[in-house]
Structure 1
Amino acid sequence: METSIHTIACNNLLILFAIVALTGIVCSIISEKIKIPDVVLFLLVGIILGPSFLSFVDISQYQVENQLILTFGSAFILYLGGKEISLKVLKNVKLSVLLLSSIGVLISAFVMQQIIGFTFKTSAMTALLIGAIIASTDPATLVPIFNSIKINNKVKQTVISESAFNDATGAILTSAVLAIILSGKFSLQDNLYQLLVMILVGVLVGVATGLVLLALVNDKPYGIFKSYTPIVSILSVVIAYELSTKLGGSGYMSCFIVGIITGNKQNFKLWLSQSCYDADCHVAETLGTICRMSIFIILGTQVDLAILSKYLLPSIISVLGLVFIARPIVVLICTIFDRKAKWNKNEILFMMWVRETGVIPAALCGIITAMKVPGYEIISSVVFMTILITLIVQGSSTKFVAKKLGLLEVEEKQID
């Protein structure tokens, strides 16, 4: 009897994966045709497949699998975000990126705490938790958008680098606020200390893991695992996350640092053979796509339309506050002190507009929803609307805004 029950559960899980994968592929094809970010369609299809409509996918029956997908998926996407960062280009705008991805996340979270607290009349800690979740931007969405348009390289690298760094910062801040809510204790000194330990341990574990495993796939005699480079890349994410978590650090930060090291291996005098590099890129890209599909479709299935409609208006007001109040304040404060970057008005305006919310907030929201944290209904409503509005409105208008502000490289060449 037990065997048959387990077999049925296994078959249902395989069917679930097939449904998610097939619908994800169809959505990706459609998104290319209609020119909107694929994650928007993932979310909408998730709602249709979930309990609200067809009930094809009910992730509540698979809590362990849900946590696995969300945890590993977000960690792996942070790893991919780290790989997109060029340390060479980053050098000239490092102060802006540092401020945007650290102080900027904190400012955004606390400004949104005030806005959400006012619109929802909810507790300060719940409002702060929501602010922390939606404070980060999305490299998984921004990278494809910027790859499709020729835009000022300084702005491009700054926005992508910020999104990769602030994903890690947002995940850490969310974890810290969640720990306070669950424990019911707040001590500024203790929590700041814990946050610093999480960051420091996360960075050290990420550096150590990245360098050791990269050396083992290096194109040298001591690169004994070089024939298994793609597998080692996946293992590096798992090892970095678990080791950092065990030592009290941030697993998300570790995975992000591993990604930076992997993406800038030439800076560490480590090289891969062309065949190993190509194989690694193909596997990482495929797995990253699967993670994105799974995270957003699963998030969509967890959306309760009755609750969403109940909180629709205050959720929209909160998103507008994020786009037109919190983000401009963050960009203005974090760029004004960077004299070396020589930001002009149009570049600052563009960075104020481009701040799509995506994978990491979706994954964090999914984890919190599964845990039934107090206020999770409001949290899921605000996060869902933030992702939907920023991706549809800001994601689809990036090229138009860049053109109007004169930041497209084609325009610069025509002017010359």
Structure 2
Amino acid sequence: MSSPEKLKGNALQAYQEYTNMGGQLIPWDRNLDFSADLIVDAIFGIGLNRPVDGIFLESIQVINHSPIPVLALDIPSGLNANTGEKMGDSISAKVTTTFVGYKQGLFLNSGPECSGEIFFSNLNIPEKCYQSAKPSMAVVTEKLSKTVLTKRPIASHKGSFGHVLVVGGDHGMGGAVRIAAEAALRSGAGLVSVATRASNVSIVTKLRPEVMCHSLDDNPDKIGDLIAKATVIAVGPGLGLGDWAKNLLERVLESDLPLVVDADALNILSQNPRKRENWILTPHPGEAAKLLGVINPVIQSQRLDSLDKLVKKYGGTIVLKGNNTLVGGPNQIPYLVRTGNPGMASAGMGDLLTGIVAGLLGQFENIDHQLLAAIAANAHATAGDLAAGDGERGLIATDLFKYLKQHLNP
């Protein structure tokens, strides 16, 4: 790809070691006979700062059209190590082995699509060498989750684990509050109440009799009494955008309780932005775009930057959902959730996450909200992976309940 005479430094040393061991160089030709079992991609590394062109672009495109699997070293050639953007074009690897530290571009924008399965090697660098490094993200792991999800005290009672109030479920949307309510229970909340339309009460209580379900149609002021008994409020699942929804959201926002805000509540909030420190907002990219007044592609191409802007504009904790969900908070590095799968792109999954976040928030009132939200998002995604063990297509939100309990009891 490049003349050996132009090599210097580490590249020259590597070239010399390679040739001394009998390695051969073959000039690039797009008509080369690709008869190998594996292509190792090491064209560009993390220093790439301009779009690829010429024979480099040609080689990437030829390799991508080859049926031979590709192993990328450190990062797929053509992928921006910081943003995950394709710099003109990028290798699409089956496996990427990255060294010394994870590159955030592997998890952002086009990174997941181009990187395939990611493996890591620290090249036996001593741990002390990492002590002065400032990471840009922290990966949520089972080990991290276990620091919070400890065994319950033997003298516990239902009042020990919070009372979650789920507010939502406009006409025809009762399923949303039912999923969120059960998710809160399955996550360990001691008590769960639902405030919704009268037509939803029988549906929720029949399918999940452990939930206390209340109609607000006959007495809208009842919401005040329900808020007074709760310790956490989750608002938004199936809420709608009409006056009923707006009035309910306003009553909820008058409360000082910790809040989980999702779905239609986020769309209403985007019309009248405000800042609050004790809430957790859980937007998908479309909702995040409305909250920031931009278009969806901006969110997807600038996920870390968008997360930071959401935190600064709205305060509290932000869970920016999507492939490799990001969880941000004030003055802390974001958490990265690496679990999850495309089968989870189905109705009700967001309501499920809302309930999980609220359920954990009710149980662990003294734990940092950003950490709790990250653990909740990871539990949600991990349960999705377990539920997709027999296939991603056709996965529905309620399939995850069985695996959620399993993951939350490590």
Specify which structure has the bigger relative contact order, considering alpha-carbon pairs within 8 angstroms and separated by 6 or more residues: 1
Same-fold call, TM cutoff 0.5:
no
Normalised to the residue count of structure 1, the TM-score between the two structures is 0.27
Structure exhibiting the larger radius of gyration computed from Cα positions: 2
- The structure that is helix-richer by fraction is 1
- The structure that is strand-richer by fraction is 2
Normalised to the residue count of structure 2, the TM-score between the two structures is 0.27
